[in-house]
Chain A
Amino acid sequence: MKGSQAIIKSLTDEGVDVVFGYPGGVLLPLYDVIYDSDLKHILVRHEQCAAHAADGYARASGKVGVCIGTSGPGATNLVTGIATAYMDSAPIVALAGQVGTSLIGNDAFQEVDTIGITMPISKHSYQAMESSEIPQMIRSSFYIARTGRPGPVVVDLPKDVQEGELDYPENITIDLPGYKPTKKGHPLQVKKAAELILKSKKPVILAGGGVIHSNSSEELQHLSELIGAPVTTSLMGKGCFPEDNLLSLGMLGMHGRKSSNMMVDECDCLIAVGCRFSDRTTGDVNKFAPNAKIIHIDVDPAEIGKNVDVSVPIVGDAKIILSHLLRIMSQTNGPNNHDWTDYVRNFRASCMPRLSFDDMPLKPQQVIKEISEAVTDDTIVTTDVGQNQMWMAHYFTSRNPRKFLSSGGLGTMGFGFPAAMGAKVAMPDEDVVAVCGDGGFLMVCQDLATVKEYDIPVVVCVLDNRYLGMVFQWQKLFYDERISQTKLKAMPDFVKLAEAFGVNAYRVERPGEMKETLKNALNSGEPTLIDVMIDPDEILPMVPPGCGLTEIVGEYKVERENPNEIPYRPSAQETGGD
């Protein structure tokens, strides 16, 4: 068969049924085969959206997402999406077209060194120089993308390699002598961790995206229950522990919740699972968890000791290690941490954020509260980057893994909407809501055409403050209110913009409207945009860069009436049936 046919066969053999892509000259052989293949191809309107959509697909489903871009500009447009996936360990395979092998290196038309460009932002990359290499390469790419610490893999496919003939091998074995991710944790280390936990009086669990990747939410919850430890998460870990649990502290870090930042400061034992201690999570590392011995569980050995010194390092798959840890611990009486647990619960209640506001323009807290009330636990929400993201991280209550998707490591504006598109394609039965800032959404709004064409019924909520809100906030707090280039003076009418694409759109301005509008939009089963006019002056308390986690600036608005109030959300049973 031809190289291009081998690409499609390799994809289908990997169980791929949908790809996000954009064609080009060097991809003509591949697209010619796509023309009569069963593979569903979604034509995005910008390659960056193809990569983000593949990423959203991967994060929502746990499967590998696939995106395609042509050589040169197609490949460079994929780059932001590949880097985003790399920073957040999302498994995607990016197929890039390349000029013919005889032209490589000649600065041929639309030639770019895709391998060179993507080397530092991908888990691995391949360039096929012979058609016969394709099956093995694609197979290995998927294997590398989804195993160990997941990540993006790039495959560069020159035009003549797509056209050449090959015999598709009957059996393909993975032969990667340098790649053997550790799964089981070292038993001695696990034992040490158990002993340390048993001795501790004030344990805290810090859960990151690794808990979600390894599907170990349940084990994590058992551990928390067993030892009475509160759980805080990184942005990537949001949803891996139910945030309405009285032991949930919310997100940690620069833009984290006070409850998390204070309890991590106090704890004597920090059990970090599948997180990488990014500077946004730790604040000044020298002031991070000053009283704690740290246990760090991670599948990537290089993450252990990279940013924070740890007492007990354990390399391996979080699910296997947590189960092992639970087996050891359940044979003991467990530590008696009742005092700590009570203390944490009370502290948590004392700083529950206030959510209800009647103000006009709308307060973001109120908007997020109404979003929470309009969706179910199974709804997948994505965020863009900026204040919208941090408001969601703070005020939106997540109860399940893979339901909160956000660009953490790279902080990519323009992620939210295409990621929602990918998530909806992956999980057509779940509602998908993207919460974006006006700046970030405008970067990718052309893909409204895609959701319309393929009838991908996501709901995009644009939190419209006419500012590059997060940067504006920093200028207000740290640059003497010198508002340099963050006011968005000319902006489109987002409702008209959506309508121009044939997408339904509504504007929300008053308290109470968001909930109804979002519910209706979700029920309509059609792609919808909701333009939400919010107060640009509302800011979120934060830890200034370079400070310790307790050195928070800005006033937390605290819910005093009903400290344990969480937005009401009907359970699955209540909504079931319709």
Chain B
Amino acid sequence: MDEQRSHIISALVLHRPGVLQRVAGLFTRRGFNIDSITVGPSEQDGMARMTIISRGDDKILEQITKQLNKIIEVIKVRDLDAEGTVIRELCLIKTHATSERSRSEIIQYANIFRGRIVDAGPENLTLEITGTPEKIDALIDLLRGFGIKEISRTGPTAISRGSKTI
């Protein structure tokens, strides 16, 4: 029947304490899947924009949007279609890097992926990379061989392409 797809839901919400809890709580209570949720101030004063990545069939997605809309602090909700959307995630990766050889290889990888070294110690390097979640996954895979000590990802945030806004 309906296939399970990953959805990028963008929501404009009032920037108030408790709003994130309301939104996240809604997903738990209604049994909706939640892959990631990011939130930060938007272009409008007092409003924040949330990006929620969720999996589900069309029916579930419809419920997610409708239930989100019922939250009093939620102003607007839109399901962004993947093609017409710019998706970016920020990731910090701390790798084990003791030998000169591994250090220069890691720096090369960072360059290829348009990442940057943002911190270095005698035994480690920390890379910063932004991109689609897939690109970040690919870099992480490459770096595994060196010994990854820590990863911190923000989860994707998204905005629609062109002049469309929500």
Contacts and interface: CB of A to CB of B under 8 A. Distances in A.
A113 to B, nearest CB: 10
A115 B18 contact: yes
Contacts of A115: 18
Given A119-B21, A306-B63, A176 B72 contact: yes
Given A302-B67, A305-B62, A306-B63, A178 B72 contact: yes
Q: Which of A115, A127, A177, A300 has the most CB of B within 10 A?
A: A177
B95 to A, nearest CB: 38
Given A116-B21, A120-B29, A305-B59, A178 B66 contact: no
A179 B26 CA distance: 17
Contact of A178 (B29, B62, B73): B73
B53 interface: no
Nearest to B73: A178
Interface residues of A, number: 17
A124 interface: yes
B62 A119 contact: no
Given A178-B14, A305-B59, A124 B72 contact: yes
A256 B41 CA distance: 51
Given A178-B14, A178-B71, A119 B22 contact: yes
Interface in A184-206: none
A144 B70 CA distance: 11
B67 to A, nearest CB: 5
B-side interface mostly = helix
A178 B74 contact: yes
B107 to A, nearest CB: 45
B75 A178 contact: yes
Interface in B91-128: none
A365 B75 CA distance: 51
A301 interface: yes
A300 B66 CA distance: 9
A119 B22 CA distance: 7
Contacts of B59: 305
Contacts of B18: 115, 119, 127
B67 A179 contact: no
Contacts of A306: 63
Interface of B: 13-14, 18, 21-22, 25-26, 29, 59, 62-63, 66-67, 69-75
16 contacts: A119-B18, A119-B21, A120-B29, A123-B72, A178-B13, A178-B14, A178-B71, A178-B72, A178-B74, A179-B72, A300-B70, A301-B69, A302-B63, A302-B66, A302-B69, A305-B63
